[in-house]
Amino acid sequence: MTNEDTKQIISMQHLGKRYLVRSRRPYVGREVIQRYVLRRDNRTAFWALRDINVSINCGESVAIVGRNGAGKSTLLGLVAGTIYPTEGSIHVGGRIGALLELGAGFHPDLTGRENIFLNASLLGLTKEEVVANFNSIVAFSELRDFIEMPLRNYSSGMQVRLGFAVAIHINPSVIIMDEVFSVGDQSFQKKCLDRIHSFKEEGRTLLFVTHGLAGLKGICERAIWLDQGRLSMDGPLDDVLEAYTASCA
């Protein structure tokens, strides 16, 4: 592997994200109370992430694990650039393919064809790139017979198919996924998994969040464990999963 292959593509330094959640302090358990700070204006600030220092190299496949509310989706949002840090810094090189909210930006009154162009443009593709990839997008979605139909007539599963098909055609350097295989039927989930494996073989960088830990093996070699918004462990997948699973027992 060359130096170019191993260069950092994602760098986080003292990364933190704070939210103002409500005007009155919510009831929380003792284990998370330190993540809440009551401000002078009576609004409550909640630290979803704090002091995260992580570097990821080109071509790495990394799982993000942790309990609900640990900060996994917030971390992916910061990598994707859909939210911004409160403190610290994050740098991501190359085009990002974010399989987070599949179909975000879809309009129910537009046809499937029109929504492909709309959604792809929001993900950074030019019109020429969409035209070049249009037939492949439709073929992957298996929605050719419905592509001229308004999206309001699509089932939720059909919308997911279309959203995933668009997202995987933006030729990303970094692909981030949040429970993407929890949607769609079993056949489509396998099709998506096969495409993820092909991305891995092409040397793209993968960040993957799922509660189905068994599905991580064969995709990821490394894992990052978040606990209450802090970095608890970063290392080989099997070692991190063993420690994380033991903590949940």
Classify burial at 213, counting beta carbons within 10 Å of its beta carbon; exposed 0-12, middle 13-18, buried 19 or more: middle
Q: Please give the average per-residue pLDDT across 151-175, as a whole number.
A: 87
Report pLDDT for 2.
42
> What average pLDDT does the chain have?
84
Domain ranges for the chain: 3-94+209-248
What is the average per-residue pLDDT within 40-46? 68
**Banded pLDDT at 191 (limits 50, 70, 90):** confident
The pLDDT value recorded for residue 39 is 55
Name the CATH topology of 3-94+209-248. Rossmann fold (3.40.50)
Q: Give percent of the chain above pLDDT 70.
A: 83
Pairs from 229-236 (Cβ < 8 Å, separation ≥ 24): 229/35, 229/47, 229/48, 229/49, 229/50, 229/70, 229/71, 230/49, 230/50, 230/51, 230/52, 231/51, 231/52, 231/53, 231/54, 232/66, 234/54
- Please state whether the predicted TM-score (pTM) of the whole model is above 0.85: no
Q: How confident is the model at residue 119 (pLDDT cuts 50, 70, 90)?
A: confident
**What pLDDT shows up at residue 122?**
80
